[in-house]
Amino acid sequence: MFRTQYDSDISIYSPEGRLYQIEYAMQAVAQGSTALGLKSKTHAVVVTLMRSSDELSSHQRKIFKVDGHMGIAISGLTADARVLLKFMRNETLHHKFVYGSDLPTGEVVSSLAMKSQRNTQRWGRRPYGVGLLVIGYDGGKTHLYQTSPSGNCFSYYAQAIGSRSQSARTYLEKNFKEFPELGLEELVLHGVKALKESSGKETLTKLNVGIAVVGKEQKFEILKPNKVQTYLDQILQTEGEIEIENENENEKDQEAETLELKLD
Amino acid sequence: METYLGEKQQASQWSPYINNGGSCLAVAGEDFAVIASDTRMSLGYSIKTRYSTKYLKITEKCSIVSSGMQADIFTLHKVLKSRAQIYEQKHGKPMSTDAVAKLVSRLLYYRRFFPYYTFNIVAGIDDEGVGCVFSYDAIGTLERVKYSASGSGSSLIEPVLDNQVALKNRNDIKKEDYKLTKENAIDLVKDAITSAGERDIYTGDFVEISIIDINGTHEDKFELRFD
* pLDDT number for residue A5: 87
Least confident of A85-94, B3-12, B120-129, B171-180: B3-12
How many other C-beta atoms are found inside a 10 Å radius of the C-beta of residue B180?
A: 20
pLDDT-based confidence at residue B7 (cuts at 50, 70, 90): low
CA–CA gap between residue A143 and residue A114 (Å, rounded): 19
User: Phi-psi region for residue B59, left (φ > 0), alpha (ψ -120 to 50) or beta?
Assistant: beta
Contact A207, A48 (CB under 8 A): no
| Disruptive mutation site among B87, B88, B89 for chain A (greatest number of A CBs within 10 Å) | B89
Cβ partners under 8 Å of residue B97, min gap 6: B59, B61, B62, B122, B124, B125, B126, B127, B132
pLDDT of residue B1: 59
DSSP 8-class letter at B2: B
According to the model, what pLDDT value does residue A53 have?
A: 80
ipTM for the complex shown: 0.80
Residue of B nearest to A85 (CA): B89
At A240 the pLDDT is 59
Q: Is the pLDDT of residue B93 over 90?
A: yes
- Write the residue in B85, B91, B92 that is nearest to A93 by C-beta: B85
* pLDDT at site B35: 98
Contact B86 A97 (CB under 8 A): no
Task: Compare CB distances from B82 to A65, A97, A264 and report the shortest one's residue.
Answer: A97
Residue contacts between A and B (CB atoms, under 8 Å): 15
User: Which chain B residues contact residue A264 at CB under 8 A?
Assistant: 89-90, 92
Q: Which residues contact A258 (CB under 8 A, 6 or more apart)?
A: none
For A37-88, what is each residue's pLDDT tens digit? 999 999 999 999 998 888 888 888 999 999 999 999 999 999 999 999 999 9
Average pLDDT of the segment spanning B128-133: 96
Q: Where are the alpha helices (DSSP H) in A55-77?
A: none
**What is the pLDDT confidence band of residue B3, given thresholds at 50, 70 and 90?**
low
Distance CA B97, CA B103 (A): 10
Reported as a single tens digit per residue, the pLDDT across B51-66 is 999 999 999 999 999 9
Statement: residue B5 has pLDDT above 80 = no
Average pLDDT, chain A: 89
pLDDT band with cut points at 50, 70 and 90 for residue B99: very high
Residues of chain A falling short of pLDDT 50: 241-249, 258-264
Candidates A63, A66, A89, A263, partner chain B, best to mutate (most B CBs within 10 A): A89
* Mean pLDDT of the residues in chain B: 94
Query: What distance in Å separates the CA atoms of residue B26 and residue B13, rounded to the nearest whole number?
Result: 35
Mean pLDDT, range B65-89, rounded to an integer: 97
